[in-house]
Amino acid sequence: MTATVAPAVGPAGTLVARRTRGRVLLLLLSLAVLALIAVASLTLGVRDIDVATVWQALTAPVAGNVDHDVVLDQRVPRTLIGLAAGAALGLAGTLIQGVTRNPIADPGLLGLNAGASLAVVIAVSLLGVTAPLGFVWFAFVGAAAAAALVFSIGAGQPVKLALVGATVTALITPLITLVLLRDPAAFNTYRFWAVGSLTGRGMETLERLWPFVVVGIVLAGALAHRLSMLSLGDDVARALGQRVGLTRGLTAGAIVLLAGTATALAGPIALVGLAVPHAARRLVGTDYRWIVPLSAVLGPVMLLGADVIGRLVLPHSELEAGVVAAALGAPVLVAVARGKSVAGV
């Protein structure tokens, strides 16, 4: 009879298991933080509402109750849009940095925000669109068109992608300014969208766009392992059996879905897509199989957290989430510029 010998678990296996447990705990902790911020988003603001009242509004709303109306009509849509847009921005930034291997890449750098902004300006100035729900499809199409242009010109060349994106932004920005200077009414409408905010968007907006977020999230999860190989370089990825062109094409599609939807939902919010991937890499290392899910959680943590902070810093008033998010993300940009970011992008 031949004895079966169980494989020995050496120090390397023990280290891998310990790292895996640590990453799982970090992900669970991040989910717990996100849950707390979501509760804060439903309860805190110019009008503070206790948790019990929020729960009653969600489970057994009373017609005519002002607190219930505030929760259901304003804070629930605001919170859900923050969750969706934050996850989309975090993942879009992660995918962009992964496919370009550029630590300062984000939707703004690749021209997606500029493309969305130009489309919104055209909709407002030439077509008379004034409602946020009307901006949605124009912003989405503008971001998608800018992404398609940038990836078609700079395909397969990470450095060229960033340069093309910066060029597209530089070309589009004066056009936006020219249109707005000629049309003061369009400027007044556009400026509220351009600052980046979770307010003024109803559930109708989210109901039309959530499928794009879901498809983008699924694609990002499916591409995580491919991005880990791609981060080693094109030649190594090909040697490991990966079709690099296909990976870049699928990643570009996911970026269009995620960044376009996030911009359509919340406006061109800056630095969330830059800061979140760096934070995720510092916490779990350079394996995109962990970076991707953590970024999907840290994105809404940052965006919803910025929105809650914006409600509290000014008495009887609010700062837009885009302004606060930029202030939170600026130190990350400074750290990257000083060379303190984690390698492996």
pLDDT per residue as tens digits for the range 96-122: 888 888 777 788 878 888 898 888 888
- pLDDT by 10s per residue, the chain, length 345: 444 544 545 566 687 788 888 899 999 999 999 999 999 999 998 888 999 999 999 999 888 899 999 999 999 999 999 999 999 999 999 998 888 887 777 888 788 888 988 888 888 888 877 776 677 788 888 888 888 888 788 766 767 777 888 888 899 989 888 888 887 877 877 777 778 888 877 788 888 888 999 999 999 999 999 988 888 777 777 887 788 888 888 888 898 889 888 888 888 888 899 899 988 998 998 899 999 999 999 999 999 999 999 998 887 788 888 889 988 888 877 776 666 544 445
Placement of tokens 């199409």 in the chain: 141
Residues 293, 303 contacting (CB under 8 angstroms): no
CA distance 35 to 29: 10
> Phi-psi bin for 276: left (phi > 0), alpha (psi -120 to 50), beta?
alpha
pTM higher than 0.85, yes or no? yes
- Per-residue model confidence as pLDDT tens digits over 196-223: 888 877 788 888 888 999 999 999 999 9
φ and ψ at 270, to 5 degrees?
-95, 150
Which pLDDT score is estimated for 291? 95
Residue ranges of domains in the chain, CATH in brackets: 73-337 (1.10.3470.10)
CB atoms within 10 A of CB 217: 20
